[in-house]
Amino acid sequence: MRMVDIIEKKRDGLELSADEIATMIAGYCQDEIPDYQMAAMLMAVYFRGMTDQEIAALTLAMARSGKMVDLSGVSGVKVDKHSTGGVADTTTLVLAPLVAAAGVPVAKMSGRGLGFTGGTIDKLESIPGFRTGLSSEEFIANLKRYNIAVTAQTPDITPADGKMYALRDVTGTVDSIPLIASSIMSKKIAAGADKIVLDVKAGSGAFMKNVGEAVKLAEAMVNIGKLVGRETIAVITSMAEPLGVSVGNSLEVEEALDILSGTVESEDLRHVCLALGSYMLVAANKAVDIKTAQAKLSELLLNGQALDKFKELVAAQGGNPGIVTRKSRLLKAAMVSVKTAESGYVIAVDTAAIGYSAMILGAGREYKGQKIDLGAGLVMKCRIGDYIRQGDVVAELYTNNSARIKEAADKVIQAVQLGGKAVVKPKLILGIVNANGVELY
């Protein structure tokens, strides 16, 4: 079959067969189909969309374009978690050891940050000595021995996704639910999990700006899981403000340690971690319901077992476990306080602007491959609903690049909107999407 015939078929709004999609992906990965033809196909999908069956076929073809991780030798139900990205989204650093401590094998393949969205791999690399480039043998051996392993995604996992995403980025086709859903789910399926829990963000600091868009994306991914035999549940969570108080790599590790140690400054981050972890435990048959799961996870935080598991993870991957008791060993840049010139209630936060401020300070990448400052970032000192007075500290900025402090500080001040009346703090858990449908709270 000719690629031009497949393009024309989708251009005309017709449904592609699984064979046509598989042939297209295989041909593109083998450089038999040029970028200009794949770009035409991506634009056709952008405007015409895809059926559930097409999206599932695309997802499987992308997953099978490279190495499929085999976790069958690891006992227990393997549950993977994926976040669609946000600001101060430190959930993996808390969730992975917490859920592993509850007896669920946690095998995480994570990525690096780009733009205002932080990457788990960058955060872990701020721990002195921590190795994120595990071989497949090391990855599985650690998972069997410690019930937890975290590694950087390698180029041989879903190479079709890497090629297609690079093309989407320069052809105006990133914002397409079929393409977003297949990109995310292909990596989860290739990583070998039995069941998948998705954290789909909605709000100013998320890719999906409102709940309606987030639900559509969640439904697409849950349907993919159903059609390919991987039970999937999506939790819709708020990104109306940064989830944690810290934005930046070593700063987020420090905040994760505070939660794992029971020294909680960010109740919001802890709350979302407990919610996501509870769904992971139920999916793995380690708890009969969400309430029981949450109680079990809360106990693991209180008795120190979750913190012990994090320490075990760090030591197993070459890092310095001493950071658990001496957080001062983590990198930290020079600090400057940002104070408000006004008084009022915090009624809204431009969360993306907060993320970009951290990027300006050196904590994130403005382009792929850029070197980042692992000790840079910021710590928010106010939340939606708080009353702040003139002269109060809004945020602490950490950077080794003094030339950009004013730019970042101005962006933070502009991001925090003040008003004369208090507002209700936004909900954190906005809804659930699973095979039975959608439930919004």
pLDDT in tens, 298-321: 999 999 999 999 999 999 999 999
How many angstroms separate the CA atoms of 192 and 69, rounded?
5
- β-pair type (393-399, 106-110): unpaired
Mean pLDDT, the chain, integer? 94
Distance CA 195, CA 233 (A): 9
> Is residue 238 a contact partner of residue 87, using CB atoms and an 8 Å limit?
no
What is the DSSP code (8-state) at residue 109?
Answer: E
| Annotated catalytic residue within 183, 186, 238, 266 | 183
Range name among 66-80, 117-131, 359-373, 420-434 with the lowest pLDDT average? 359-373
What are residue 349's DSSP bridge partners? 416
Does residue 117 have a pLDDT over 80?
A: no
CA distance 391 to 401: 24
Q: How many helices (H) and strands (E) does the chain have?
A: 16, 14
Among residues 168, 270, 332, 411, which one is catalytic? 168
What pLDDT, on the 0 to 100 scale, is given for residue 166?
Answer: 87
- When pLDDT is cut at 50, 70 and 90, the band that residue 15 belongs to is very high
The residue to which tokens 């078929």 are assigned: 9
Q: Which residues contact 222 (CB under 8 A, 6 or more apart)?
A: 198, 232, 233, 234, 433, 434, 435
| Whole-number Å distance between alpha carbons of 337 and 193 | 43
- Tell me if 284 sits within 8 A of 100, measured CB to CB: no
Q: What is the mean pLDDT of residues 234-245?
A: 97
Amino acid letter at 213? E
Q: Are 306 and 260 contacting, i.e. CB atoms less than 8 angstroms apart?
A: yes
Give Cα separations from 270 to 64, 94, 252, 294, 336 (angstroms): 36, 8, 13, 11, 27
Q: What pLDDT was estimated at residue 364? A: 85
CA neighbor of 386 nearest in space, from 395, 375, 377 = 395
Exposed, middle or buried by CB within 10 Å (0-12, 13-18, 19+), for 264?
middle
Return the exposure string of 385-412: e unless at least 16 CB atoms fall within 10 Å of the residue's CB, then b.
Answer: eeebeeebebbbbbbeeeebbeebbebb
DSSP 330: S
- Annotation says 183 is catalytic: yes
Among 4-18, 90-104, 334-348, 359-373, whose mean pLDDT is lowest?
Answer: 359-373
Q: What is the pLDDT of residues 181-190, one digit of tens each?
A: 999 999 999 9
Amino acid found at 168: R
Least confident of 47-56, 132-141, 245-254, 258-267: 258-267
The token pair at 328 is 């001062």
Check residue 154 and give its pLDDT: 85
Poorest-pLDDT segment among 292-296, 338-342, 366-370, 425-429: 366-370
Residue 114 pLDDT: 63
Tokens 């109740």 belong to which residue?
267
Report the pLDDT value the prediction gives residue 52, as an integer from 0 to 100.
95
Alpha carbons within 13 angstroms on the beta-carbon side of residue 415 total 27
pLDDT at position 115 over 70: no
To the question of pTM greater than 0.95 for the whole model, the response is no
CA–CA dist 395, 124 (Å, integer): 23
Q: Catalytic residue, from 161, 199, 258, 350: name it.
A: 161
**Active-site option among 187, 195, 270, 381:** 187
Angstrom distances, CA of residue 118 to CA of 67, 317, 363, 368: 26, 21, 8, 13
Give which of 353, 339, 341 is closest to 382, Cα–Cα.
339
**404 vs 251, 368, 375, 388, 399, CA distance in Å?**
19, 20, 15, 25, 9
What is the predicted pLDDT for the residue at 194?
93
187 labelled catalytic = yes
Judge whether 261 counts as a catalytic residue: no
d(CA 192, CA 57): 17
pLDDT at 116: 61
The domains found in the chain, sorted by start residue, are 3-49 (1.20.970.10), 79-325+430-440 (3.40.1030.10), 332-419 (3.90.1170.30)
Question: Measuring CA to CA, which residue among 293, 247, 250, 251 is closest to residue 273?
Answer: 293
Q: Which two tokens stand for residue 114?
A: 């780009």
271 is catalytic: no
In this structure, how many other beta carbons lie within 10 angstroms of the beta carbon of residue 37? 18
- Residue 251: closest CA among 381, 379, 426, 107: 379
- Residue 15 and residue 35: Cα distance in Å, rounded? 22
The answer to whether 161 is a known catalytic residue is: yes
Q: Which of 9, 82, 123, 296 is catalytic?
A: 82
The tokens describing 241, both together, are 């403000």
Average pLDDT over residues 96-105: 97
Residue 29 has pLDDT above 90, yes or no: yes
